Amino acid sequence: MKLFLDTSVLLAAAGSAKGASRFVFLRAKVQGWHLLSSPYCVEETERNVRKLGPRAAPCWRASLLPDLALVPTELAFDKALIFPKAKDRPVLLSALGAEADVLLTLDEADFQKVIGFQVYGLQVRSPGQFLIDQREAGLI
């Protein structure tokens, strides 16, 4: 399963060892999850990770970043898509372009409340929602 992680999830994983975002990283190999992100999200993470305290940046660079496969940042899409949040459009388009199964985000207001929980077959979930779905399906 291909999971596309947006900046909010990358920052949450770097900033807290106990949250659902970090758990996704910790379980990815065992579960067969392929963690994807884009240079756009990585750059945004790099700009903000220092704000999370002295342990976040080293964790990000040494433990989390190496586990990500980077896919191209997409700026265009060949199907109709109305998504008003300009700064988040490359995130959604990159996840769709990578043919990810799930876009993991903590930005519910920018994603789920605008496009819902699925767009063109791409599921949109928070890390916590995703893990609950996986548990209910008997996959973890």
> Phi and psi dihedrals of 69, rounded to 5?
-95, 125
Query: What is the predicted pLDDT for the residue at 78?
Result: 58
Provide the number of structural domains found in the chain.
1
Round to whole Å and give the CA distance between 85 and 101.
Answer: 21
Distance of alpha carbon 5 from alpha carbon 130, whole angstroms: 12
CATH number, domain containing residue 35: 3.40.50.1010
Domain that holds residue 83: 2-136
Find the mean pLDDT for residues 102-128.
74
pTM more than 0.95:
no
- CB of 133 closer than 8 Å to CB of 125: yes
- Which segments within the chain are labelled E, that is strand? 2-5, 34-37, 69-70, 102-104, 118-119, 122-125
Who wins on pLDDT, 92 or 121? 92
